[in-house]
């Protein structure tokens, strides 16, 4: 395997991650697990927005979904990073592991979503939506 194939494969994986509906929903699940009890309003405001970005991806708007997921994941990462450092025993608890996973997932979402949004082909995406025609929006019978 040559280095060009590896680079292409890595970029394809990055684009695949950015255009998927799972990363936004996964981050919303982790945010809910961390901030539901005790309830913290600011992080919990991000979960419906991440869920909506997952819906956009399923509906066929993958490029816009990637941009939205990248933006809200970046905001969550900045919000979570400004928290005061925890004691050493709290870093290695279940809650600490979930927090580290949420921050890692949000960083990956920022990278993949930004790449997908910047390099996305909107005309090809629109053509793909027309071919899928999930809700009969593009019927020519009118």
140 confidence band (pLDDT: 50, 70, 90): low
> Any idea which of 8-12, 22-26, 80-84, 87-91 has the lowest mean pLDDT?
87-91
Report pLDDT digits (tens) over 50-98: 999 999 999 999 999 999 999 999 999 999 998 776 677 777 888 888 9
> Any idea which of 5-9, 23-27, 37-41 has the lowest mean pLDDT?
5-9
- pLDDT value at 33 more than 80: yes
Residue 93: burial class (beta carbons within 10 Å; 0-12, 13-18, 19+): exposed
pLDDT at 87: 72
């Amino acid at each position: 395997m040559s280095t060009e194939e590896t680079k292409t494969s890595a970029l394809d994986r990055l684009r695949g991650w950015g255009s998927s509906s799972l990363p936004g929903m996964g981050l919303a699940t982790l945010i809910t697990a961390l901030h539901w009890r005790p309830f913290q309003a600011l992080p919990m405001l991000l979960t419906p927005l991440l869920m909506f970005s997952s819906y956009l991806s399923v509906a066929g708007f993958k490029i816009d979904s990637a941009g939205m997921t990248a933006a809200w994941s970046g905001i969550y990462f900045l919000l979570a990073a400004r928290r005061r450092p925890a004691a050493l025993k709290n870093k290695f608890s279940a809650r600490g592991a979930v927090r580290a996973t949420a921050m890692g997932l949000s960083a990956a979402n920022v990278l993949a979503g930004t790449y997908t949004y910047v390099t996305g082909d909107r005309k090809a995406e629109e053509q793909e939506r027309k071919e899928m025609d999930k809700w009969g929006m593009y019927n020519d019978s009118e």
